[in-house]
Amino acid sequence: MEDKKIISDKSESKNSKVKEVFPLVIIVAITLTIGGIMFWAKLTPEQTITNFNAMSDTSLKNDLRVLKTPTAGDNSFVYAINQVAARGLDIAQNDTTVKQIIGGQKGRALTIAAVQPAVLQDNKNGKVSYSPVGQIIITSNWQYVDGKFYSNPANFNALGNKTGESHQHIWNVFIDLDRRTVTGITEEPERVMKETLEPNFVFTGMNMFMPDTVKVKPGSVLTWFNNSNLPHNIVGIYKKSASGTEIPVDSGIIQPNESWRYNFNDNGIFEYSCTIHSTDGMKGTIIVS
């Protein structure tokens, strides 16, 4: 008797399920029909995009605007991917909340990157267009060694067995370029990387190098170890002080748990960054003296 009841319950629920699903079937059918028409008329967003060529893809290097590099007493780096993105930067920097965020980062390495909008060019008529939505990424990076704020580069040997702590705080600022206002600010949870430091060993985390700035003796072989779950790279220029030669250095992609080594044989300075995470200010300096 009980068995029978269960069976009849099941079939009843099956019927009501069909009734529930029926409007959904109609919606899916309509969507597919409209989608088909759009596809035939080449109106889907994907197809519209293929008519455009992101100028930033082809001329990013030429069009990238570095607006400020770090100076003594003001460790901020400001850049925009293009002239239109730079407009968003002006608007953001006049916003009260943005001013408060920037003002609160004194002594820390600040990266302000205007990353949107990308400028688009129509392949057919050459017309240039862009979205009115601008985006600025503000990243603040700072480190501690044995609990003390790390601001002056130390000799690598002096850092051995000390506790290194690297902090990163990121804000995303969205801007309406037409109305010239900030429309929203989101804040990402602070990232912290804590490791026991070893001489000539640079932790390559997400998305920061630790220690970020450090002194070594000529002839030192440094190892960058990727202790994060993302790929990174080491790209920069090794400027040798005696000869004045500038050597381009590129590690290629370093996968998680892999490492890369480089021999600093002459006095000089090596300034580098991870090109994948440059908007997060993922950069470092090696002083060879």
Distance CA 61, CA 81 (A): 8
How is residue 224 written in tokens?
Answer: 């960058």
Residue partners of 139: CB distance under 8 A and separation at least 6: 110, 111, 113, 168, 169, 170, 171, 279, 280, 281
Query: Under the criterion CB under 5 A, does residue 283 sit at the interface with Cu ion?
Result: no
Owner of token pair 């029978």: 4
Evaluate whether 287 touches 216 at the Cβ level (below 8 Å): yes
Nearer to Cu ion, 191 or 232 (CB): 232
- Report in angstroms how near the CB of residue 232 gets to Cu ion at its nearest: 3
Among 207, 222, 230, 229, residue whose Cα is nearest residue 282:
207
Residue from the set 277, 279, 284, 288 that interacts with Cu ion by CB under 5 A:
277
- How buried is 103 (Cβ within 10 angstroms: 0-12 exposed, 13-18 middle, 19+ buried)? exposed
Nearer to Cu ion, 154 or 276 (CB): 276
Distance CA 177, CA 186 (A): 18
Distance CA 137, CA 135 (A): 7
Evaluate whether 287 touches 215 at the Cβ level (below 8 Å): yes
- Report in angstroms how near the CB of residue 202 gets to Cu ion at its nearest: 12
Nearer to Cu ion, 91 or 208 (CB): 208
Residue from the set 274, 278, 279, 283 that interacts with Cu ion by CB under 5 A:
274
- Report in angstroms how near the CB of residue 80 gets to Cu ion at its nearest: 20
Residue from the set 86, 133, 145, 276 that interacts with Cu ion by CB under 5 A:
276
- Report in angstroms how near the CB of residue 228 gets to Cu ion at its nearest: 8
Nearer to Cu ion, 117 or 168 (CB): 168
Site for Cu ion in 136-175 (CB under 5 A): none
- Of 92-100, 116-124, 187-195, 272-280, the window that binds Cu ion (rule: CB under 5 A) is 272-280
Site for Cu ion in 224-243 (CB under 5 A): 232
Nearer to Cu ion, 101 or 274 (CB): 274
How is residue 23 written in tokens?
Answer: 């409007």
- Report in angstroms how near the CB of residue 208 gets to Cu ion at its nearest: 8
Among 243, 250, 285, residue whose Cα is nearest residue 265:
243
How is residue 198 written in tokens?
Answer: 């070893």
The secondary structure of 38-51 as a DSSP string is HHHTT-SHHHHHHT
- Of 100-108, 143-151, 210-218, 271-279, the window that binds Cu ion (rule: CB under 5 A) is 271-279
Nearer to Cu ion, 102 or 282 (CB): 282
- Report in angstroms how near the CB of residue 282 gets to Cu ion at its nearest: 5
- Report in angstroms how near the CB of residue 150 gets to Cu ion at its nearest: 20
Nearer to Cu ion, 136 or 234 (CB): 234
Distance CA 218, CA 205 (A): 26
Evaluate whether 267 touches 289 at the Cβ level (below 8 Å): yes
- Of 94-102, 165-173, 255-263, 267-275, the window that binds Cu ion (rule: CB under 5 A) is 267-275
- Report in angstroms how near the CB of residue 111 gets to Cu ion at its nearest: 13
Q: Which residues bind Cu ion (CB under 5 A)?
A: 207, 232, 274, 276-277, 282
